[in-house]
């Protein structure tokens, strides 16, 4: 591990944390996953091939840790401790609260996606990887990846009709 490589790795932390939040559904679990991913990366840094994408490599490590965990215990949601919105009602942050509750619905939608659609959707729609890069990261044929993303998006659109999306858009934040 060189300081340069470590700087490049640490620069990925916010994005890895976002991916981990999408996968696990809670910030606590996300931080735990990110921590574990960095530990594994430090231990296996010689397995990373210079010239290949460092972010894809880290996404892959993180996702495989996540998969191992949900296989060994049903971890999803077990760390969720939602803040009770009733205790937050104050005039100055009501707007922020409305926005955050809408986003909580979107997060709930991500939570309900089948595991294999979730990772594909997050890598492409949130992390901005190309279909090719995401397929390589998840070790999938590109056709499989494309259809998973399409299915996840179709669900998002149908559930968005409940009004969550529209209300969010109406909020000028």
Partner 1 sequence: MTAYDDATIIAYLDGDLDETDCAEFERALETDAALPARVEAFAESGALLRAALAPATHGPMPALPAPDFAVSAAPTRPAWIPRAIAAAFAFVCLGSVFGYLVGQRVADRDDARVASRLEADSRIREATFQRAMEAEVSGTPVRWRNPDSGAEGLVKPVRTFRNKNDQFCRQYDRSESTGDRGETVSGIACRDDQGQWRVRAVYYAQ
Binding site for partner 1 (CB under 8 A): 1-4, 6-7, 10, 13-15, 17-18, 20-22, 27-28, 30-31, 34-35, 38-39, 42, 45-46, 81, 83-84, 87-88, 90, 93, 96, 99-100, 103-104, 106-107, 110, 121-122, 124-126, 130-131, 146-147, 149-150, 153-154, 156-157, 160, 164-165, 168-169, 173
Number of alpha helices (DSSP H) and beta strands (DSSP E) in the chain: 9, 0
Judged by CB, which is closer to partner 1: 71, or 152? Answer: 152
Q: Give CA–CA dist 18/111, Å, rounded.
A: 14
Judged by CB, which is closer to partner 1: 71, or 81? Answer: 81
Distance in Å, CB of 60 to partner 1, minimum: 18
Distance in Å, CB of 16 to partner 1, minimum: 9
Judged by CB, which is closer to partner 1: 71, or 160? Answer: 160
Judged by CB, which is closer to partner 1: 76, or 160? Answer: 160
Within 13 A of 117's CA, how many CA atoms are on the CB side? 16
Distance in Å, CB of 44 to partner 1, minimum: 11
Taking CB atoms within 8 Å and a gap of at least 24, the contacts of 63-72 are 63/19, 63/23, 63/119, 63/137, 63/138, 65/33, 65/36, 65/37, 65/40, 66/20, 66/23, 66/24, 66/33, 67/115, 69/33, 70/115
Query: Which position has the token pair 């969720």?
Result: 80
């Amino acid at each position: 591990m060189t300081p340069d490589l470590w700087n490049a790795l640490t620069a990925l932390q916010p994005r890895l944390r976002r991916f981990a939040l999408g996968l696990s559904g809670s910030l606590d679990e996300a931080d735990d996953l990110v921590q574990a991913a960095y530990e594994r990366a430090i231990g296996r840094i010689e397995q990373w091939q210079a010239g290949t994408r460092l972010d894809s490599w880290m996404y892959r490590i993180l996702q495989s840790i996540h998969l191992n965990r949900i296989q060994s215990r049903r971890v999803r949601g077990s760390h969720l401790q939602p803040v009770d919105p009733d205790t937050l009602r104050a005039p100055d942050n009501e707007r922020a609260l409305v926005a955050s509750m809408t986003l909580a619905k979107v997060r709930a939608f991500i939570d309900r996606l089948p595991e294999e659609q979730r990772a594909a959707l997050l890598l492409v729609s949130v992390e901005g990887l190309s279909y090719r890069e995401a397929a390589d990261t998840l070790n999938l044929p590109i056709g499989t990846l494309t259809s998973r993303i399409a299915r996840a998006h179709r669900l998002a659109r149908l559930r968005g009709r409940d009004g969550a999306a529209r209300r969010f858009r109406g909020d000028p934040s």
